[in-house]
Amino acid sequence: MKNKQYPLYTVEKLTDLRQMLKEKAEDYPEAVAFQYMVSRKAMVEKTYAQFYEDVRALGTYLLKHHVTGRKIALISENSYRWLVAFFAIVNTGNVAVLIAKDAAEIEAATLVFQSDADIIVTSKACDHIAQYCKERYGRKKRYYPMERMDQMIASGRKALEKGKLYYDRVKLDPDAMSAIFFTSGSTGFSKGVMLSQTNMISDFQDCLRLVEVGGRTMSVLPYTHAFGLIISLMVPFYCRIPVFICSSLANFMREIPIAKPTLLALVPLFVETFDKTIWRTAQKTGQDKTLRRGIAASNAMMKVGVDRRRTLFKSVLDKFGGDLNMIVCGGAPLDPRFVKEFRSFGVEILNGYGITECSPVLAVNRNHYHRDGSVGRVLPHIQVRIDKPDEKGIGEIVSKGENVMLGYYKDPRSTEEVIDKDGWFHTGDLGYLDEDGFLFVTGRKKSLIILSNGENVSPEEIEQYVERIDEVSEVVVYEDDHAIAAEVFPDENAGKSREEIIKSIKKQVEKLNKTLPNYKHIQKLIFRDQEFEKTSTRKIKRYKATPKKKAEEPASAEGKPQAEKE
């Protein structure tokens, strides 16, 4: 199909998440819903009917023990039990408070307090957090180890057999607060985002009006974040796509050949890592020139309607299970060169854009209607406009619709700062809409560098250029003493000494400066010994990437950055 506009897909409207689980169990009882590893060789499969009955039984157990209208903190790694717990909580009128497993003890305890959660569910891997909360809150909280869940489900099942239909009789309000997601904390203090079932359902169903998905998927993004739960989990579940639950990031590359996904939902860091792995492997085996020729040949054949990508790049695709053909990418800016390169390999990257407060997707490229460099078309039932655009049409991206959060939990002041009197949510992101309605994101309003000459520089744009340097692993650009500074964490796996890597980066930044307007020149280069601190979704915490104030001489007139004094 040619890259042009075509009709939206049809999606039957859901009322709530309990309806979704019940209908899948009734319509496809024996179909596989989830897969996960219990050892290096043993895999477990759960059907839609089994999942529904487990959720129903755990929900019955909670209601039998008078757990209703409560806020329940889930602190655990991704797992089947986590999913059973989440859906049992939200489908019994309780509120799920989602806290990242890798949160520091004091941070997790603070979020428990901030959310008023009085029940804490933790896995064995998060026992230290439960213990810290016990020491801090004592008997004010109730604690459930996730490992006890099988017993709780068995108890709930016995109650169901005796006709205790508590779960089925609960009246759900789909517009009430159902879950509290915490903002990623990449720019500072985390706020509790209140989402209803209507928020979540309206957003993922709108995504499905734009994007067609199928096959198999593997979920690797944390369920404590909206993209990981709503898009990488709820979307495939609704579409009857088996979900392989990755046990951990460390096991991702080991488990992907087992999962053999056709579809992945990822953040850009994964795509960038995949790309570096492909080219580094090709260079080590002396196949990099062959790979480049293959890409050129494949692109030429595609122009005349001949598609040999699955054959030409079999060795590349085999690294990702062999069947991968689509990646839905969001959560941070993605360099369009990756989209083009993976398309050459036979994998379409549908870049999208969203924010937790909008449940989370606002726009996404379509299967057969996409624009490289954009984040796609705005979802059909969501309003998006550009607020106070400048002469280039760039302004703040604002949104309105059923997807917009209920507000920040117990923080009306912060809520009023982002949702105006007319109901428009102000994302804090800058961008523009082109003549065909494709949305482009140019940077963050807060991180925008305003120079003394009045010029505005988006650090994300400069970061994207620097990230194209092979020896650069991570970079953050900011203003330091009225100069543009780039703080770089060199790629330790580049196969060179640190001195050689730094020398190469400096030389390539000098070349980069010659291609940029003078006001965008990188005037300071700072090299880190450790990678930047990140959120659980692998986004750099910008507010912690502060200037190092290292002694450096001013850049020369040609815009050449001075060498850091090692």
Mean pLDDT, residues 348-359: 96
Give the start-to-end residue ranges of the domains of the chain: 210-401+421-446, 449-544
The CATH number fitting domain 449-544, selected from 3.90.1010.10, 3.40.710.10, 3.40.190.10, 3.30.300.30: 3.30.300.30
- Which band of pLDDT confidence, cut at 50, 70 and 90, is reported for residue 357? very high
Span 275-298, pLDDT tens digits: 988 998 898 899 999 999 999 999
Q: Which residue has the higher pLDDT, 261 or 464?
A: 261
Q: Is the four-CA dihedral 158, 160, 164, 166 of positive or negative sign?
A: positive
Task: Name the helix (H) or strand (E) containing 248.
Answer: none
Q: Encoding tokens for residue 311?
A: 């054959």
Q: Give CA–CA dist 379/364, Å, rounded.
A: 7
pLDDT tens-place string over residues 518-565:
889 999 999 999 999 887 667 788 777 755 433 333 333 344 554 443
pLDDT of the residue at 542: 76
Query: Pairing relation of β-strands 377-378 and 71-75?
Result: unpaired
Rounded to the nearest integer, the mean pLDDT of the chain is: 91
Confidence of residue 39 (pLDDT cuts 50, 70, 90): very high
**To 10 degrees, the CA torsion angle through 453, 455, 460, 464?**
-90
Examine residue 360 and say whether the peptide bond preceding it is cis (omega within 30 degrees of 0): yes
CATH class of the 210-401+421-446 domain in this structure: alpha beta
**Could you tell me where the DSSP H helices lie in 325-388?**
336-345
Q: Concatenated DSSP letters for 513-554?
A: HHHS-GGG---EEEE-SSPPPB-TTS-B-GGG--------PP
- pLDDT tens digits, residue range 46-72? 999 999 999 999 999 999 999 999 999
Condensed to tens digits (0 to 9), the pLDDT of residues 472-501 reads 999 999 988 878 999 999 998 877 899 999
DSSP annotation string for 133-187:
HHHHHGGGSEEEEGGGHHHHHHHHHHHHHTT--HHHH----TTSEEEEEEP--TT
Comparing CA positions, the residue from 145, 140, 114 lying closest to residue 129 is 145
Calculate the alpha carbon distances from 470 to 391, 394, 492, 527 in Å. 35, 31, 11, 15
CA 69/CA 240 separation, integer angstroms: 30
pLDDT of 185 over the 70 cut:
no
Which pLDDT value is given to residue 239?
Answer: 98
Tokens for 528, please give them. 């880190």
Q: Does residue 74 sit in helix, strand or coil?
A: strand
pLDDT of residue 230: 98
Range of lowest pLDDT (177-186, 365-374, 537-546): 537-546
Residue 79 to residue 311: CA distance in whole angstroms: 35
Helix, strand or coil, per DSSP, at residue 98 = strand
Q: What is the pLDDT of residue 187?
A: 52
pTM passes above 0.75: yes
Pairing of strands 395-400, 383-387: antiparallel
Rg (CA), the chain: 24
Strand 263-266 relative to strand 348-354, pairing: unpaired
Domains 210-401+421-446 and 449-544 are alike in CATH topology: no
Question: Which is nearest to 211 in space by CA: 360, 404, 349, 384?
Answer: 349
pLDDT tops 60 at residue 267: yes
| Residue 75 phi, psi (nearest 5) | -130, 100
Whole-angstrom Cα distance, residue 366 to residue 378? 10
* DSSP letter for each residue of 295-323: HHHHHHHHHTT---HHHHTHHHHHTTTS-
| Bigger pLDDT: 379 vs 190 | 379
pLDDT: which is higher, 244 or 451: 244
Would you give the distance in Å from CA 354 to the centre of its chain? 9
Interstrand relation of 243-245 and 263-266 (parallel, antiparallel or unpaired): unpaired
Q: How far apart are CA 366 and CA 375, in angstroms?
A: 10
Question: How many whole angstroms separate alpha carbon 556 and alpha carbon 233?
Answer: 52
